[in-house]
Amino acid sequence: MILVTGGCGFIGSAFVLRWLAQSQEPLLNLDLLTYAGHPGNLAAVQGDARYHFCRGDIGDAALVAKLLAEHKPRAIVNFAAESHVDRSIADPLAFARTNVMGTLGLLQEALAYWRALDAGAAAAFRFVHVSTDEVFGSLAPDAAAFSETHPYQPNSPYSASKAASDHFVRAWHHTYGFPALITNCSNNYGPRQFPEKLIPLMVHNALRGLPLPVYGDGQQVRDWLFVDDHCSALEAVLERGRVGETYNIGGRSERTNLQVVHTICSVLDELRPQAHGAPHAQLVKHVTDRPGHDRRYAIDDRKIEAELHWRPAVAFEQGIRATIEWYLANADWVESVTSGSYRQWVERQYKGLAKAA
């Protein structure tokens, strides 16, 4: 059995679904079910005898110890995190509690569990910590992409909290010999992503004829990674990665935010045109930029390709169409997550933002 934390979230649920579709090995999902953790993401496996769920906090030491003792996982894959930059700016302490103290608590219990294993089980055990390229800071337009040795320079409360968690994982390996690995991925997209992030927010608003808020000039560059590609990379790291190493995972699809939004508009013009025939791009509205907004992220993923023979399989144009088609076909899911609290958040976040110069 493996233990997955945060398995009801966007990336975690994609991993759980992929795992159970390909493996007979049971999986235990520990998730606190905060606003971004949606049980409906895993409705397809609710009756699967291989799937086990526990609602709880990774920082709850007694609960984590109990689960480890009862289920005896051979590996832990840690997705549990607060991950939205805008929310981290509004409430940084929540990000410190989950991403730093929660990870630290999980590490503490995992270390005690690992130390108590017999020699064979201890040698086979792995702890995979899922992190982000945002810990590396911002790149100039012509700078080389982030490698695994790029210095950490986090610029938001979110990326600072993830950087801290990475440092603790690294320290657990170097201090205690704990068999941990770290992955740093680029921007994920795909089905079931909570519509506070760029792509699902744009799809959600466009389908309702609402403004498409683009921060600043929209020229911020991100590397876009289809979520299933990310999950296949994590499987490779879990099974073949070298203990103590970090692996960058990228989609090899750098795009500006504005390019992404216009691509979404073009696909929607084809698949779900507006009743009055106007292009969706007319809904784009430039708003005041996010404080401290990083200009560019880019991933150098040559290490994971060379060592683990992994590379992304889904091109951005293919992945974005599949993503939009999923949202169009799953209106009930969208309605279930865009509740009153979601609408209140979006209103608070974007209402009153002046049009960018």
Q: Does pTM top 0.85 for this prediction? A: yes
Q: What is the pLDDT of residues 107-125, one digit of tens each?
A: 999 999 999 999 999 999 9
Q: How would DSSP label each residue in 312-325?
A: ----HHHHHHHHHH
pLDDT value of residue 349: 56
Determine what percent of the chain is predicted with pLDDT higher than 90. Answer: 86
Domain ranges of the chain: 2-189+225-251+296-314
Active site annotation includes 134: yes
Question: Torsion angle of alpha carbons 228, 88, 136, 292, nearest 10°?
Answer: 120
Of 86, 109, 133, 166, the catalytic one is 133
Residue 12: HSE in the Cβ half-sphere, 13 Å Cα cutoff: 36
Which amino acid, one-letter code, is at 177? G
Active site annotation includes 245: no
Q: What is the pLDDT of residues 196-219, one digit of tens each?
A: 889 999 999 999 999 999 999 999
Q: Are 250 and 301 in contact (CB under 8 A)?
A: yes
Of 158, 247, 297, 327, the catalytic one is 158
pLDDT value of residue 357: 38
- Which stretches does DSSP call E strand in 243-322? 246-249, 254-256, 284-287
Domain 2-189+225-251+296-314 fold is: Rossmann fold (3.40.50)
Active site annotation includes 307: no
